[in-house]
Amino acid sequence: MTQNIVETPKTSGPELAQRAQEIMPPVDIYENDHELLVLADLPRVTTENLTVEVNHPELKIQGRVPSANHQSDIVYTRIFRLDSSMDVAKIEAKITEGVLEVHLPKSEPYRVRKIEVTGA
Amino acid sequence: MLNIYRNTNEWPSFVPFALFDLPTPGRSFSNLRQDLDRVFGTYEQSLNGPYAQTGENAQLRDSGSDLVVTIDLPGVSKKDVELTISGDNIFIRATRTLSPPEGYTAHRRERSSFKFEQAFQLPVAVESKTAVANLQDGVLTVTLPKSPNAQPKQIAVKAG
């Protein structure tokens, strides 16, 4: 497991005190030379009810599904701890078909670069 | 909108089981919902492993004139959903095939591919012709208008 993103156990915030069912959504984490890619299943979550927040070093993903039929809301939460290799200002997120995609670009010094070797 | 197959001759070769017991007086929709949850429980385990909890993957709601079935299918596109309705039977098949994005190495894979297939019997007959299915925000919503006989109606009580 890479050390540049590590999960943090979450503690319930006061905002969750009201009736809400907390769920840990399943998450995939991928990496290439340029970025980390986090995918999370968040069915029923719309952009208005979704927050992706970086409060260095924490990346917090939280989506709320308002209750239907007088049941409690559903709150999906995952929190990860990022190391300093990510360029926080360039993080991008989008949600399609209930799947959230968070792109975390690596900052320049941490990108993999091929150095061309020239002969004498 | 999704394609809804109504041709009962192409009914898949499975034994539809009665999800709901025979109507008993006082049997409420919360029971029905529990039944539905139980049916979808195995699907949820395969979908979410230890992560998500049971309860909200599938819901059956009675809006009076319609039955509304909703199922969480994140990452499923509509071409991968098949729906067959016949009388009070409904068959739903959905598949999700995940593969790592090209050029990436996986560090964590909790999301999984799945093939979801379920047939069940609705508590009342529905009008398949006017049924509507919609896939949005990773949720399949099937709205099934009840057949005329099953529509709620008020009976005027005459004074003797």
Judge if ipTM > 0.85: no
What average pLDDT is seen over chain A? 87
Name which CATH class applies to A16-108: mainly beta
- B13 confidence band (pLDDT: 50, 70, 90): very low
Would you list the domain boundaries of chain A?
16-108
Size of interface A-B (CB pairs under 8 A): 99
| Cα dihedral: B146, B150, B156, B160 (round 10) | 180
Domains of chain B in sequence order: 4-150 (2.60.40.790)
CB neighbours of residue A58 within 10 Å? 13
List the single residue in B51, B75, B100 with the smallest CB-CB distance to A97: B75
Please tell me if residue A65 touches chain B, with a CB cutoff of 8 Å: yes
User: Among B50, B49, B20, which Cα is nearest to B34's?
Assistant: B20
Which chain A residues contact residue B75 at CB under 8 A? Answer: 41, 97-99
Nearest-angstrom CA–CA distance, A35 and A86: 8
Nearest CA distance, B135 vs chain A (angstrom)? 8
Q: What is the pLDDT of residues A29-48, one digit of tens each?
A: 999 999 999 999 999 999 99
- A69 confidence band (pLDDT: 50, 70, 90): low
The tokens describing A22, both together, are 């907390």
List the single residue in B74, B100, B107 with the smallest CB-CB distance to A1: B107
Q: What is the pLDDT of residues B24-40, one digit of tens each?
A: 343 444 445 555 555 55
Kindly determine whether residue A30 and residue B101, on different chains, have CB atoms separated by under 8 Å.
yes
Nearest-angstrom CA–CA distance, A68 and A44: 11
Q: Which 28-67 residues of chain B touch chain A by CB within 8 A?
A: 47-49, 51-53, 55-56, 59, 61
